[in-house]
Amino acid sequence: MPASILEEVGHLLGGAVARGTATRFRCPSCGSPHVAQVLGDNGGVSYVCTACGHSWS
């Protein structure tokens, strides 16, 4: 049995998720893959780079 759901679905993306290398987004400012999805005040979705602090939606 896989240790995590990421290991379970890793084969769907060629194993990249299980290796921790898959990312949907990269920061448009610094190119970092360390991006968090956050909910905005108006219910929309925004993104914030945890490496440089840049935010966008």
Between 54 and 39, whose confidence is greater?
54
What does the DSSP assignment read for 3-54? Answer: SSHHHHHGGGGTTHHHHT---S---TTT--S-EEEEE-TTS-EEEEETTT--
Three-state secondary-structure class, residue 57: coil
Residue 51 banded pLDDT, cuts 50, 70, 90:
very high
Is the pTM above the cut of 0.75?
A: no
Q: Quote the pLDDT of residue 18.
A: 44
Q: 5-46: per-residue pLDDT in tens?
A: 656 655 555 544 444 444 477 999 999 989 998 987 788 889
Residue 50: give the domain boundaries: 24-57
Between 50 and 42, whose confidence is greater?
50
Total of domains in the chain: 1
Q: Is residue 38 part of a domain?
A: yes
Q: Is residue 49 part of a domain?
A: yes
